[in-house]
Amino acid sequence: MRKPKTKNAAGRSAGRRTAKRVRSRYTADEVREIFRRFSVQRPQPKGELEHVNAFTLLVAVVLSAQATDVGVNKATRALFAVADTPEKMLALGEAKVGEYIRTIGLWRNKAKNVIALSEALIRDHGGEVPDERDLLTTLPGVGRKTANVVLNMAFGQPTMAVDTHILRIGNRLGLAPGKTPEEVERGLLAIVPAEYMRHAHHWLILHGRYVCKARKPDCERCVIADLCQAAERTSAIPAPLEPV
């Protein structure tokens, strides 16, 4: 007859389950050096979505789902020129918003969300974009990633917005492996030094977009090539650290 688990046995069992979780392949010193180099390379990284205030940033990020920043910017320049507040956007109406953003994927549904979130901001928040994640994610079309981008860029909070680039890099480099954006987010929040958290998600996005690209990483241009633990690399020599 099997003996019931004691407290210690249960604790050891829980410990074994915890140990199975995938950890970063890098030491704390290596992680610090990675982000130090990113900070030298891009001292003041910026998101590439054009906006004029917290509201237009929120709208731009909502529109950027399954679309490129370049495509969103082309559509929103004219839109934001006439509607840069929830009140103006609501007055414009869903059909007119749709005309401005027709070149963006899923534009019909996104137009509905833009009008609905404008209504919610006016009704529930006095027309202001809230600076709390839980409040942001109650808005139509706003998920955790969108909320994290807005909190970071509009309010300076040290959030980690995991997009497809960061999800890929977290796993390819073994920096913060995870099957979901939430797992990668938790992994990065646990290892990125506090002094680098403010810009960390921008550094990672830009690195994934322009250097550690999906189809063919450009390792010769990589400033962390000698630290990289990716299974496949084309170079182990880091590129010169020059601000861009």
- What fold characterizes domain 54-155? Endonuclease III; domain 1 (1.10.340)
Euclidean distance between the first and final Cα of the chain, in Å?
A: 68
Q: Going residue by residue through the chain (244 aa), what tens digit of pLDDT does each one get?
A: 444 444 444 344 334 343 345 689 999 999 999 999 999 999 999 889 999 999 999 999 999 998 999 999 999 999 999 999 999 999 999 999 999 999 999 999 999 999 999 999 999 999 999 999 999 999 999 999 999 999 999 999 999 999 999 999 999 999 999 999 999 999 999 999 999 999 999 999 999 999 999 999 999 999 999 999 998 776 667 777 777 6
* Annotated binding residues for [4Fe-4S] cluster: 212, 219, 222, 228
Q: Binding site, residues?
A: 212, 219, 222, 228
Q: Which residues are catalytic?
A: 145, 163
pLDDT at 234: 66
In this chain, the answer to whether the domains covering 28-45+159-221 and 54-155 adopt an identical fold is no
**CA 118 – CA 164 distance, rounded (Å):** 27
Q: What pLDDT score does 235 carry?
A: 67
Give the residue extent of every domain in the chain: 28-45+159-221, 54-155
Closest of 46, 17, 44, 35 to residue 175, by C-alpha: 35
Q: Which residues contact 206 (CB under 8 A, 6 or more apart)?
A: 42, 45
Longest dimension (CA), the chain: 76
| Exposure class string for 83-96: b at 16+ Cβ within 10 A, else e | bbbbeebbebebee
Domain 28-45+159-221, CATH 1.10.10.10 — does that match?
A: no
